[in-house]
Each structure stands twice: as C-alpha cells, then as structure tokens.
Amino acid sequence: MNKTAPRGEPYIRYIAFEQIACQALKSSEFIVRRWLPEGCRQGTEWVSRNPRRNDHRPGSFKINLATGRWGDFAIEDAGSDLISLAAYLFGLSQGEAATRVAEMLGIDPYER
C-alpha cells in the first residue's frame, strides 16, 4: 500500500545516505572482508587487489577502515565512503549501492 501525503500526493522517500554510510563504517572490516576476501588488514587499512582491473597483487587498492575512504592509486579511482565503494565494485548507482548496503546491514535505507 502506498501512503499519500495530506493532499493526496504520494510521499517521496529519500535514501538516508549519511546514516547508511555511518552504520557501514561501524562494520567496515566485516563489509570489506565480504566484498574483497583476498585482501588483508594492514593497520587501519584493508589492502586488496582491485577486482575491476587486471591487478596481479595487492598494494595499490586500499580502504581506510576508520574513515571509509578508498582508492586505487595505480589508476586514481577513489571514493569517500563504503557506499561509493559498493557502487564502484558492483557497477551500481549510488542509490542502488546505498540500498544494498542498508539491506546487508539490516537497516532501513530511507529517511524518516
């Protein structure tokens, strides 16, 4: 059932990007282990091969587990959170990535 606003218009549901990114950060190591299982933790970073290119060994593709920032310094692809990492790894839009991350974490992807 679709809910409607007082004037009979449908409610617009906005994705809670900031909340999802914050919750994802709390589970950052769990998430990157799942997405990049061949990687390993080095200090506060997860170091892995980049599955999006012919990357022969880990080293240039890193995810900061404390901030969520990530980058492949060999090709200058980078992002600021785990939502953008999901979008990059799986070829999704930011909205699709946020929704999938929220579902993986068992949280509501929409603002209240």
Strands 70-72 and 61-64 come out as antiparallel
CA–CA distance, 12 with 23 (Å, rounded to integer): 23
pTM: 0.87
Q: Which CATH class is domain 17-105?
A: alpha beta
CA–CA distance, 35 with 15 (Å, rounded to integer): 22
Strand-pairing partners, residue 41, are 46
pLDDT of 58 reads 85
The residue whose two tokens read 């390993």 is 40
| Residue 4 near residue 99, CB atoms below 8 Å | no
Grouped pLDDT means (10 residues each) for the chain, 112 residues = 60 91 97 97 97 89 98 95 98 97 96 79
How many helices (H) and strands (E) the chain has is answered by 4, 5
Strand-pairing partners, residue 45, are 42, 64
pLDDT of 10 reads 73
Strands 61-64 and 40-42 come out as unpaired
Question: C-alpha angle with apex 110: 62 to 100, nearest 5 degrees?
Answer: 40
Q: Where are the domains of the chain?
A: 17-105
